[in-house]
Amino acid sequence: MKAKAVFYHAGCPVCVAAEDSVARAIDPVQYDVEIVHLGNDKSRIAEAESAGVKSVPALLLDGSPFHINFGASLSELK
Amino acid sequence: MKAKAVFYHAGCPVCVAAEDSVARAIDPVQYDVEIVHLGNDKSRIAEAESAGVKSVPALLLDGSPFHINFGASLSELK
């Protein structure tokens, strides 16, 4: 069974660059990658926060948050 | 032909976590991933700096630097 990866972003230029490169580079054999736009889907901000996400873009792999460069803090998206 | 990915780290706990998750999650069909320990291989710090790497761990994908969380700044490794 594939593991779950979630890429959180907010449409910012830093986010788009990370999505085009890092999210796209994730091995589809190992991971199902879900892309979540927290600006458009604010109902999922709490879920991201619970997982330890502090800023976007961020990649959640097997439940661990990895912040990729810096686009915006989660608090700016609320 | 595969694209080149370079994962720069320095053996720090944040680096090891990123290597175990993010570097390992890179699609081997798309990328040849090289792992570089800048603490042990200081001769490559200049190369990382030229590519725009400011801190480790960092992943260079197609020449673009993506800083993953924060372990140490490059200047601390010199």
pLDDT tens digit sequence for B3-58:
999 999 999 999 999 999 999 999 999 999 999 999 999 999 999 999 999 999 99
Q: Is A3 in contact with B24 (CB distance < 8 Å)?
A: no
Task: Check CB contact under 8 Å for A21 and B67.
Answer: no
Q: Is B77 in contact with B39 (CB distance < 8 Å)?
A: yes
Alpha helices by DSSP H, A1-78: 13-18, 24-25, 45-50
Residue A7 banded pLDDT, cuts 50, 70, 90: very high
Q: How far is B74 from chain A (nearest CA, A)?
A: 15
Name the residue facing B22 among A21, A28, A59 (closest C-beta).
A59
> Counting Cβ atoms within 10 Å, is residue B64 exposed (0-12), middle (13-18) or buried (19+)?
middle
pTM of the model as a whole: 0.95
Residue A1 banded pLDDT, cuts 50, 70, 90: confident
Name the residue facing B22 among A17, A21, A61 (closest C-beta).
A61
Task: Check CB contact under 8 Å for B25 and A17.
Answer: no
